[in-house]
Chain A
Amino acid sequence: KQEVTQIPAALSVPEGENLVLNCSFTDSAIYNLQWFRQDPGKGLTSLLLIQSSQREQTSGRLNASLDKSSGRSTLYIAASQPGDSATYLCAVPQGSGTYKYIFGTGTRLKVLA
């Protein structure tokens, strides 16, 4: 059974710092991994989607990497800003050939001005 863990659970950093969020999954037979952002009381915003054949994806100040063999993904945020404060969730398919996603526990990020 796929399990997804994110560390740290919470993170508070001063503005401008580069930071790394971690996501671990137990079943490496995934076809993609997605990173999402969730603001308080809001829905999910997709940040990056990494296909299983890819090692990383970049969008602006965000860079996500994927290492299937070790069951890990990292989300790198460069030059953090107060507007980056949110909960970040990673999600992987529950199994091959399915859309059913299992979500990580999330990392609550607070960037201090």
Chain B
Amino acid sequence: GAVVSQHPSRVICKSGTSVKIECRSLDFQATTMFWYRQFPKQSLMLMATSNEGSKATYEQGVEKDKFLINHASLTLSTLTVTSAHPEDSSFYICSAGDWKTYEQYFGPGTRLTVT
């Protein structure tokens, strides 16, 4: 099956700093990628849709100026958490869709801890 990678797997940063998370589709081209966040013992919540070559589409309640998304190529999308605060600490997961099967492939996730 298709493989999606994320980097880093874990990151700890100080409050007020910015953190960039990368999501790569390793063996297929993804015109659309998605970013989710997951709080402990809760399900995944969609944050935004990342579209290659255009602006991301954010879900209601997600601050686009805080969570910057860039999808500059067909295999890479990045999520930058700007001016991070402790409440941004979460598990962030990306996914990429295969248009042929409409199946989504998920990355292994990035654990962000803001101190």
Chain A residues within CB distance 8 Å of chain B = 31-32, 34, 36, 41-46, 49, 51, 89, 91, 93-94, 99-106
Contact = CB atoms under 8 A, between A and B. Distances in A.
Given A43-B93, A44-B93, A89-B43, A101 B104 contact: yes
B43 A105 contact: yes
Interface SS of B by simple majority: strand
B34 A46 contact: no
Nearest 10 pairs of A and B residues by beta carbon = A43-B108, A43-B109, A99-B97, A44-B106, A103-B44, A103-B43, A49-B103, A106-B43, A105-B43, A43-B106
Interface string B71-115: 000000000000000000001010101000111111111010000
A96 to B, nearest CB: 11
A34 B108 CA distance: 17
B104 to A, nearest CB: 6
Contacts of B32: 99
B106 A32 contact: no
A46 B97 contact: no
B49 interface: yes
Contact of A100 (B6, B46, B101, B103): B46
Contact of B111 (A41, A44, A93): A41
B104 A99 contact: yes
10 contacts: A31-B102, A32-B103, A34-B104, A43-B109, A89-B44, A99-B49, A99-B102, A101-B104, A103-B43, A104-B43
A32 B43 contact: no
Given A89-B43, A100-B49, A42 B106 contact: no
Given A41-B111, A99-B34, A99-B97, A46 B46 contact: no
A43 B44 CA distance: 10
B61 interface: no
Nearest to A99: B97
Contacts of A51: 102
